[in-house]
Amino acid sequence: MGEMIQVVCRRCRTPLTVAASMRGQTMYCPTCNSAVRIEEEPAAEPSAASPPPPTSSASPPLAPAAAAPSAAAAEPAKVEPERPRLRLVKDRMASGGGRVCPHCGAAMGEDHVVCGVCGWNTRTNRSMADVARRMDALRDLVSALTKLAVVAAAGWILWAAVVRDWLRSQPRAPEMATAGGSSNAAATNVATSGVPAVTPELEAAAREESVARMNERFPRIADGEETVVAMKSGRILRGRFERLADGTGFTIVSADGSMERHPFSDLQAASRLRCDDAYRAREIEREVDRKLGR
């Protein structure tokens, strides 16, 4: 069996035993799969024992009887030769001119950019594991911000709904203050106390107030008037307006002379309040009932 030498992997510090004939070759560590080039660094050979320096001529010569033990004691101790050390070669491999990973020393192809063992990117000098961790952290941050935004939006919607319901529940009797007189005060007392004490004068005042508000907000369109109405479908009709005799619809003649006929139910609420007299009267009565608490 040939001479064996002991080497140590510089990455994982695993001791390895290889044949002395492998000096100058490349091997792989069985533990970490690192590419290792076995090179023996030149070691200083033990020099031959040199004779002791000559003593001064003034020194007296030793006696023959004592010279023998001194010569035996002056014999130099045997020096063990230095072991060849394992040295990683990270710039190139000895076989095929290949490359090794600058991070872990694993073998890499000439056209490889990322190490298949440790994931080191030789172009960016970053580990792909670090990049993956950063991307995971970024995804977690985006997910947390998204959840926070959803919770904030849900809270805002809930708050808006509560405020809307509270506003709708508030009494609106003070809006009849312009009617004046004792009937106005009575309507206020009815709205605040909840006692159904409706008098004809109070009802007439409430109806007058509702009609005035309706005429102010939604003025009625007269027959033959040039106007603009909005349909539920989103269309806008412009032209001369005429109600049908049966009161169920209307016709509108545009500037080019074309005429269209539609039922009142096709109109949006704001346009229908201006055109449909029956719908307008129902809304006024509903407003009166609301004011009187009926």
Q: Are residues 288 and 195 part of one domain?
A: yes
Summarised one tens digit per residue, pLDDT across range 147-168 is 999 999 999 999 998 888 888 7
57 in a structural domain = no
Number of domains in the chain: 3
Which CATH number belongs to the domain containing residue 190 in this structure? 2.30.30.140
Summarised one tens digit per residue, pLDDT across range 179-231 is 444 445 544 554 455 545 778 888 899 899 999 999 999 999 999 999 999 99
> What's residue 193's pLDDT?
52
> What's residue 266's pLDDT?
93
The bridge status of strand 120-121 relative to strand 126-127 is: antiparallel
266 in a structural domain = yes
Summarised one tens digit per residue, pLDDT across range 54-70 is 554 444 554 444 444 45
Q: Are residues 262 and 177 part of one domain?
A: yes
Domain region containing 98: 1-41+82-113
What tokens does 201 get? 């004068």
Q: Predicted confidence band at 53 (pLDDT cuts at 50, 70, 90)?
A: low
Mean pLDDT score of the chain, rounded to an integer?
76
Q: Are residues 202 and 138 part of one domain?
A: no
Residue 11, pLDDT above cutoff 50: yes
Q: Is the dihedral of CA 53, 58, 59, 60 positive or negative?
A: positive
Summarised one tens digit per residue, pLDDT across range 134-150 is 889 999 999 999 999 99
> What's residue 122's pLDDT?
85
Q: Are residues 100 and 25 part of one domain?
A: yes
Summarised one tens digit per residue, pLDDT across range 249-291 is 999 999 899 999 999 999 999 999 999 999 999 999 999 998 8
> What's residue 64's pLDDT?
47
Neighbouring residues of 258: CB distance < 8 A, sequence distance ≥ 6: none
Q: Predicted confidence band at 46 (pLDDT cuts at 50, 70, 90)?
A: very low
Q: Predicted confidence band at 131 (pLDDT cuts at 50, 70, 90)?
A: confident
Q: Predicted confidence band at 243 (pLDDT cuts at 50, 70, 90)?
A: very high
Q: Predicted confidence band at 79 (pLDDT cuts at 50, 70, 90)?
A: low
Summarised one tens digit per residue, pLDDT across range 93-115 is 444 445 788 887 778 877 888 88
Q: How far is CA 94 from CA 38, 98, 99, 112, in A?
A: 10, 8, 9, 18
Q: How far is CA 159 from CA 58, 75, 145, in A?
A: 114, 101, 21
Q: Are residues 280 and 216 part of one domain?
A: yes
